[in-house]
Amino acid sequence: MGAKTAKIAQLEQEVVEHMKNIAGYETTMLLLCDYQNDILAMNQLADGKDKELVAKVNAVTAAARAKGVHVGFVRVAFRPGHPEVSDQNRLFKIVKANNKLVEGTDGSKLHDDLKVDEGEPVFTKKRVGAFSTTDLQAYLRAKSVTKLVLAGVSTGGVVLTTVREAFDFDYELTVLKDLCHDKNTAQGEALINTVLPNQCNVKDSTEWLASLTTDL
């Protein structure tokens, strides 16, 4: 009987420790943006560089899930013929001209290696930022999320625009710099080192994951 009681006590302690680990993170979402075949290719991530980046993303999302952090994904896709794209849009009119990011095509899909767990939200947008043409804001409000942790391709596109949008919505923001990429290296470095720190924390993913066990 004593051994059984000790075993129960041990299990109870393990449950308590697990709850400590996940406590506090239900108000945080890790949002991974635009890791799509066309976008990765347009940002010169080829010859295995795409797989390397996505593998790092997967490692971070797995660790975040284990801590109870919400995980979500963002992608951009258009109807055939790109009727949502105005000729005045300097970026997406090029996408339209090259017939990229069409819904249902391989190019519009999230990278095959990217791991999306069942039930995790995927927000499909029609513009650069993650908020303006999706229901992301409604979802975050419904889940009582107040902290957003962002990464994506490109730094000067979806990451910058989403940070600016989320900043105006009063989210507490972190960008994971090692999971971002910009084909314009100088632009990406300037954003990470100078621009984005004005609106958010900028961290390496390992530093952010380590903080999940030390900030409670």
Banded model confidence at residue 47, pLDDT cuts 50, 70, 90: confident
Q: What is the predicted pLDDT for the residue at 6? A: 72
Dump pLDDT digits (tens) for 132-158. Answer: 999 999 999 999 999 999 999 999 999
Q: What does the DSSP assignment read for 21-68? A: HHTT-TTEEEEEE--BHHHHHHTT--TTHHHHHHHHHHHHHHHHHHTT
Domains and CATH numbers, the chain: 26-211 (3.40.50.850)
Q: What percent of the chain has pLDDT over 70?
A: 90
Which residues, including other chains, have CB under 8 Å from residue 117's CB and lie 6 or more apart?
65, 71
Q: pTM of this prediction?
A: 0.88
- Of 205, 150, 214, whose CA–CA distance to 21 is shortest? 214
Instruction: Please tell me the distance from the alpha carbon of residue 151 to that of residue 176, in angstroms, as a whole number.
Output: 5
Neighbours of 66 (CB within 10 A): 13
28-33/70-76 β-pairing: parallel
